[in-house]
Amino acid sequence: MQYQQVQILLVQLQNELQDLQLWQSQAPSAEALQSTQPFAVDTLAFHQWLQFIMIPRMENLVQARRPLPTSMAVSPMAVQVYSGQLKQHRMLINCLRELDQAVTGQDPLQPDQA
């Protein structure tokens, strides 16, 4: 069930990126994709990291039924990246929040969970 839910959310995430016209038809350079920084902040825009790194990795885990990450908090980064455009990116942030919750069982935007 968890894999199915994650797959649905990954499709929703792709749709949100497309709706926001952030989905790209051409991949960044191989060098840019090799970043070792969190969210590839040194070489990619956040939406590029989602499209070319996070979504493919998560899809591979789901399709192979491999263990999903035990720790994941992408939605707080989205809130930070889109802080000046929260209303415009609300659906994208909500999708990432649901994905965080589906994978880890935790809501990283609710800090008082213990």
CA torsion sign, 92 to 94 to 96 to 102?
Answer: negative
Residue 39 lies in a domain: yes
Tokens (6 digits) for 58: 């998560």
Per the structure, how many domains does the chain have? Answer: 1
Contact (Cβ atoms closer than 8 angstroms) between residue 62 and residue 6: yes
Q: CATH code at 8?
A: 1.20.1440.40
pLDDT band, residue 114 (cuts 50/70/90): very low
Residue 63 lies in a domain: yes
- Its domain, for residue 23, covers 2-104
pLDDT digits (tens, 9 = 90+) for 73-102: 999 999 999 999 999 999 999 999 999 999
Tokens (6 digits) for 68: 């999903």
Residue 109 lies in a domain: no
Residue 110 lies in a domain: no
Residue 112 lies in a domain: no
pTM of the model as a whole: 0.92
Residue 114 lies in a domain: no
- Residue 40's nearest CA partner among 56, 53, 23 is 53
pLDDT digits (tens, 9 = 90+) for 11-62: 999 999 999 999 999 999 999 999 999 999 999 999 999 999 999 999 999 9
